[in-house]
Amino acid sequence: MTEQKHGRPGAVPAARVRHLTKTYGSGQALVTALDDVSLDLAAGEFTAIMGPSGSGKSTLMHCCAALDTGTSGEVYIGDQELTRLKDKALTRLRRDEIGFVFQSFNLVPTLTARENIVLPLAIARRRPDAGWFESVIATVGLGDRLDHKPNELSGGQQQRVAIARALVSRPRIVFADEPTGNLDSRSGGEVLDLLRSSVDGHAQTIVMVTHDPVAAAYTDRVVFLADGRVVHEVRDPDRESVLEVMATMSAPVAR
Amino acid sequence: MLRAALKSLMGRKVRLLLSTFAIVLGVAFVAGSLVFSDTLSRSFTALFASTVGDVVVRPEGAGDLRNGPSTRTVPASVVEELRPVEGAARVDGNVTELGVFVVDGENKVVGGQGPPGIAGNWSDAPAGHGLEGLSIVIGAEPEGRDQVVLDVSTAERAGYSRGDRVRIVTTGDQAVLNPVLVGLADFAQGGSLNGATYVAFDTPTTQQLFTGGRDVYTDLWVTAEDGVSQEELRDAVAQRLPEGVEAVTGDDVADENASQLLEAITFLTTFLLIFAGISLVVGAFLIVNTFSILVAQRSRELALLRALGASRRQVTRSVMLESLVLGVLGSTIGLGLGVLLAMLIRLVFGRFGLDLSEQPLVFAPRTFVASYAIGIVVTMAAAYLPARRSARIAPVQALRDDISMPETSMHRRFVGGLVLVAAGCGALATGLFTSVDRGGWFVGAGVLAVLLGVASASPVLSRPFLRLSQRLLARVFGAVGNLAGQNSLRNPRRTTATASALMIGLALAATMAIVGDSAKASVDQTIEENFRGDYVVSNLMGQSFSSRIGDQMGALEGVGTVARQRWAFADVDGDPQGVGASQRTSFEGALGLEMVGGSLDDLATGTVLLSDKYADELGLAVGDDLEVTFNNEDLTYPVVGIFADNPILGFPVQTTLATLRDAGFPDRDNLLVLDVAQQSPALQERIEAVVADLPIVTVKDQAAFAEEQRGPIDQLVLMIFALLGLALFIAVLGIVNTLALSIIERTREVGLLRAVGLSRAQLRRMVTFESVVIAVLGAVLGSVLGVFFGIAMMYALRDEGLEVISVPWDQIGAFLAVSVVVGVLAAVLPARRAARLDVLSAIATD
């Protein structure tokens, strides 16, 4: 469908979704959030998932991130199939293999920026790799604000702390849910630059759910969802190509 | 959706109820004690009415039951004298004796310690107001020395039925009787012996046994003819009485008897009311906390109300209204629980022989008024602070993301708390160390003020502790410990308010533990220092026993001297005062009296010795006269000596055996101290053999005697644990409540932690750590305060003979250990709740 401009070496999928269906309710009230979705999320790639409200993009991300389970179908993180895992294994998977960035930052208010960043490692009772920690800190660019509590940081700084937290455990894949949704455009740009550079610099796999065509333009690949199905995909998007697809997507409804 | 809404409503209701639980308990104790004491006072007079005749003729002063029936009696001739009195239907003579007990097949005294054992001559005389008194329900009246009648309940408890031989022990010279049970008596028209046991012989036998064979009575009942009132009859009878004998109406005697028992029961009501007070104070803390959290959770909603134009007062009022509903609800449940409590107490009293089951519970209007007033006032007063604070939320905050409740400055609270502590210490010192009126109130108010002050200052005061525990937890348990420690620091007001509930309970328990332990240590020290004999012989009931026992023991080979001690109750200067008596030689021998003034050699019949402290109190010295009233008879005894206060003797006035005999007291001993050449099990066995068939009299060596003396203190300690149990229970509820609310408040954070990889077990551990920190904080504060209160109190009691101050560190250590357990237990439900939280929805909540 879309031609592949750059043959990426790390095209091995970091996560795979096969025939994933998710329904809520039953009978007449049955709502299908995901309808037989199959998708590969390549390692070392920055993917955006877009779609109108109710298209199922958040549900898809939650299922991939081991926060939610589908009604049928399979989800793999690396070689691990999630639907068969118990809570304990899922917790460990989240801790070791997955990073999160939320729209509303979600930092622990009682901990300093540094403590928030190392939290996943601390929970696992692992010491942060000093070199990696330094390089993450350097990338995030917080410098002297590491010993501040979240309420002493600006929104952009808080989100950068959240990203550092997601990166510090070197997860296989990072999920970001509207990471710029609560930020002004300048802070948002900084956050997206940071995500982009961690893909380019550290070959980090990132999946981001967003509404914003500008944010989507930072990615390698945009997957469009509508009514629970993957309807389109754009490689190496820019703002215009994304807007174009969005326009065609709303067209059939208008017709 | 509807179900979800209902569920969340129910969830909140349960939580609110949890916080009112302490109020419920407090109101229940208030209502229970009021209902029970009302029931008692109404039914008591009725209970006693059928145990007295219309008019009772008795030796003057014989109403003083402390000494038992007087040796002074009414001559039988008075019966004939009174028969012709106008309005008198009949005159019956009674011989009554106390200290006569029924022994069951297992050699156990029926009734155990406490209720008296009554013996009397069988009489079918009706009780006052034409009520039928005790009457034979099975069998026949007793006739002759070998026949006896028991009351139904005693026979049942002892397992005797008609035709059996009954074992009876008396304090008289003939210590053991073995008559045949020929009949059973019961109150035909309701009435109760209140747990006492009753034994009846025919009149000649009773006189032979208890009045030395003289034809005399301890009192007479004069029964009124129809239409003659008790007062009229009393006046008519009084004109014909010889000197030294008085006539009293039956109603007055019933009241006398009832009030003496009621007085003993007041103690229970006081105890319940203290419990009520503690519950209410602690409950107030929990309510302040709950409302603070609930208001904080609803702050956005409240800010919205303000933005929409609601006035501050309207916001406050809406919160206060909620507390009113809660108060009404809590009081109602408390009232219901109080009724159950009263029924439970009635049941327990029934077990101990005071059968009130026939008496309906009395609900006086004041019970309702007091219950609701207390419950509602405490709840609303506690909710007032958070309600007022909620009104200070700025309307603009409805539009903001993070809403923080306006809080009073911690600094101001700290200073206010310190002022309160200082004031409390002042009141405490005034109550303890000066002779101010109503010192108890000062002490109580001081303790309360110190507790409230510390609670108020504790957000600042506890910070070092919380920081330390956070560091410690972080060091030992890593991230999970760090998170828990940080959580407890996050809102120090909430943490410390929750801990305060435990603090108050433990402070009181620790105080009591110190008082109890010190008292025990004092008893031990006293006995060790003053106990010179080898064995003590005493009556289980503290009552007297035949002087023959002492004679027999003195005759045993290997027994050196037998020191006798007798007790009598008198009035000195209008205050009740015990008087002890012994042989002169015993005072210097086994009883170890140390004279500080006068000489023992001068002690003769009709003279007394005083303890140095008591002599000071009365302002008497050797050569002065002591005026004593024995059974309404005024006597004067010259003081011939002053002795150093001696706890073994118990009473500060001592005299000779003959003095008491002359004053009308029987020849019976209360305590024997045996001095033996060589202590040996064989000798103890032979001594015990003397009283083998008298289970009421026991032989103890020094250790056992000390043990017995510590008995009442052990009961006190038991009450401490009841207190502690209650405090722990309420504290657990408080911690559960706070944690549950905190977790709801932190739903999103919990979700985040789970999302970044915190396992359920780790999450549970985090909640548990936080809970333990709160509990240990409360326990530490409480123990420190308790040790302070306890030592202060013991200093104040130093003059009362409690010279040893002993802090039971092991017990206080145990309190701390228990508090850890409390913390763990309190965390169970909130932790499970937190662990069950759905990660996704926790994150999704906006």
- Predicted confidence (pLDDT) at residue B63 exceeds the cutoff of 80: no
Residue B218 contacts residue B69 (beta carbons within 8 Å): yes
| Residue B768 pLDDT | 92
| Residue B571 pLDDT | 80
Dihedrals phi, psi of B604, to nearest 5 degrees:
-130, 175
B551-561: per-residue pLDDT in tens? 888 888 888 88
- What percent of chain A has pLDDT above 70? 93
| Residue B731 pLDDT | 79
3-state secondary structure of B705: helix
Long-range residue pairs from B834-837, CB within 8 A, at least 24 positions apart, any chain: B834/B743, B834/B750, B834/B763, B834/B764, B834/B767, B835/B760, B835/B761, B835/B763, B835/B764, B837/B743, B837/B747, B837/B750, B837/B751, B837/B754
Two tokens, residue B810:
């092991």
- Classify the C-alpha dihedral A77-A82-A85-A87 as positive or negative: positive
Q: Does residue B257 lie in a domain region?
A: no
- Predicted confidence (pLDDT) at residue B728 exceeds the cutoff of 80: no
- Predicted confidence (pLDDT) at residue B118 exceeds the cutoff of 60: yes
B591-627: per-residue pLDDT in tens? 778 888 888 888 888 899 988 888 888 888 888 888 8
- Predicted confidence (pLDDT) at residue B771 exceeds the cutoff of 60: yes
Among candidate residues B206, B225, B5, the one with its CA nearest the CA of residue B120? B206
Rounded CA-CA distance A77/A171 in Å is: 11
| Residue B45 pLDDT | 60
Tally helices (H) and strands (E) across chain A.
8, 10
Q: Based on the domain organization, do B506 and B451 belong to the same domain?
A: no
Q: Based on the domain organization, do B441 and B471 belong to the same domain?
A: no
Query: For residue B399, what are the CA distances in angstroms to B128, B193, B295, B300, B305?
Result: 81, 75, 17, 8, 12
Q: Does residue B63 lie in a domain region?
A: yes
A17-74: per-residue pLDDT in tens? 999 998 887 777 788 888 889 999 888 899 999 988 888 888 888 888 888 888 888 9
Residue from A110, A151, A154, A175 to probe the interface with B (highest B Cβ count within 10 Å) = A110
Q: Where are the beta strands (DSSP E) in A25-69?
A: 31-42, 46-50
Q: Based on the domain organization, do B575 and B596 belong to the same domain?
A: yes
- Predicted confidence (pLDDT) at residue A7 exceeds the cutoff of 80: no
| Residue A6 pLDDT | 41
Q: In this complex, do A123 and B757 lie within 8 Å of one another by their Cβ atoms?
A: yes
- What percent of chain A has pLDDT above 90? 11
Q: How confident is the model at residue B265 (pLDDT cuts 50, 70, 90)?
A: low
Residue from B467, B480, B752 to probe the interface with A (highest A Cβ count within 10 Å) = B752
Q: Based on the domain organization, do B592 and B687 belong to the same domain?
A: yes
Q: Based on the domain organization, do B126 and B183 belong to the same domain?
A: yes
| Residue B149 pLDDT | 92
For range B692-716, the mean pLDDT: 78
B597: Cβ–Cβ under 8 A, 6 or more apart, which residues?
B612, B615, B621, B622, B641, B642
Residue B393 contacts residue B403 (beta carbons within 8 Å): yes
- Alpha carbons within 13 A on the beta-carbon side of B402: 8
Residue B281 contacts residue B29 (beta carbons within 8 Å): no
Rounded CA-CA distance B547/B175 in Å is: 11
For range B749-760, the mean pLDDT: 84
- Give B482 to chain A, closest Cα distance, Å: 9
- Predicted confidence (pLDDT) at residue B69 exceeds the cutoff of 60: no
Q: How confident is the model at residue B506 (pLDDT cuts 50, 70, 90)?
A: confident
B173-197: per-residue pLDDT in tens? 677 888 999 999 887 766 666 667 8
For range B88-98, the mean pLDDT: 86
CB neighbours of residue B675 within 10 Å: 16
Rounded CA-CA distance A77/B49 in Å is: 89
ipTM of the prediction: 0.76
Average pLDDT, chain B: 80
Q: Based on the domain organization, do B719 and B585 belong to the same domain?
A: no
CB neighbours of residue B489 within 10 Å: 17
A137-194: per-residue pLDDT in tens? 887 777 788 888 888 888 888 888 988 888 888 888 999 988 888 888 888 888 898 8
Q: Based on the domain organization, do B89 and B212 belong to the same domain?
A: yes
For range A8-13, the mean pLDDT: 58
Q: Based on the domain organization, do B526 and B601 belong to the same domain?
A: no
| Residue B846 pLDDT | 44
B374-389: per-residue pLDDT in tens? 889 988 888 888 888 7
Q: How many residues does chain A have?
A: 255
Q: Name the residue with higher pLDDT: B171 or B105.
A: B105
B759 in A contact zone (CB under 8 Å)? yes
Residue B738 contacts residue B493 (beta carbons within 8 Å): no
Q: Which of A65, A91, A119 sits opposite B759 (nearest CB)?
A: A91
B483 in A contact zone (CB under 8 Å)? yes
Residue A114 contacts residue A150 (beta carbons within 8 Å): no
3-state secondary structure of B600: helix
Residue B710 contacts residue B520 (beta carbons within 8 Å): yes
- Give B406 to chain A, closest Cα distance, Å: 17
B286-321: per-residue pLDDT in tens? 778 777 777 777 777 777 777 666 777 777 887 788
Q: Based on the domain organization, do B717 and B749 belong to the same domain?
A: yes
| Residue A207 pLDDT | 93
CA B215, distance to chain mean position in Å, is 44
Q: In this complex, do B846 and A104 lie within 8 Å of one another by their Cβ atoms?
A: yes
For range B391-403, the mean pLDDT: 62
Q: How confident is the model at residue A208 (pLDDT cuts 50, 70, 90)?
A: very high
Cβ contacts of B754 on chain A, cutoff 8 Å: 91, 94
Q: Which of B490, B752, B759 sits opposite A88 (nearest CB)?
A: B759
Cβ contacts of A91 on chain B, cutoff 8 Å: 754, 757-760
A119 in B contact zone (CB under 8 Å)? yes
B410-448: per-residue pLDDT in tens? 788 888 889 999 998 888 888 877 777 776 778 888 888
B746 in A contact zone (CB under 8 Å)? no
Residue from A91, A97, A183 to probe the interface with B (highest B Cβ count within 10 Å) = A91
Q: In this complex, do A119 and B840 lie within 8 Å of one another by their Cβ atoms?
A: no
Tell me which of B249, B271, B298 is where a domain ends.
B249
Q: Which domain holds residue B224?
A: 51-249
- Predicted confidence (pLDDT) at residue A3 exceeds the cutoff of 50: no
3-state secondary structure of B52: coil
| Strand-pair category, B668-669 with B633-643 | unpaired
Domain A13-246 classified CATH 3.40.50.300?
Answer: yes
Q: Does residue B245 lie in a domain region?
A: yes
Rounded CA-CA distance B501/B734 in Å is: 7
Cβ contacts of A89 on chain B, cutoff 8 Å: none
For range A207-213, the mean pLDDT: 90
Q: How many residues does chain B have?
A: 846
Q: Based on the domain organization, do B128 and B197 belong to the same domain?
A: yes
Q: Based on the domain organization, do B114 and B217 belong to the same domain?
A: yes
Q: Name the residue with higher pLDDT: B633 or A168.
A: A168
3-state secondary structure of B649: coil
Q: Does residue B557 lie in a domain region?
A: yes
Q: Does residue B183 lie in a domain region?
A: yes
Q: Based on the domain organization, do B690 and B785 belong to the same domain?
A: no
Q: How confident is the model at residue B780 (pLDDT cuts 50, 70, 90)?
A: very high
Q: In this complex, do A125 and B749 lie within 8 Å of one another by their Cβ atoms?
A: no
Cβ contacts of A102 on chain B, cutoff 8 Å: 752, 843
- Predicted confidence (pLDDT) at residue A206 exceeds the cutoff of 90: yes
User: In chain B, how many domains are there?
Assistant: 4
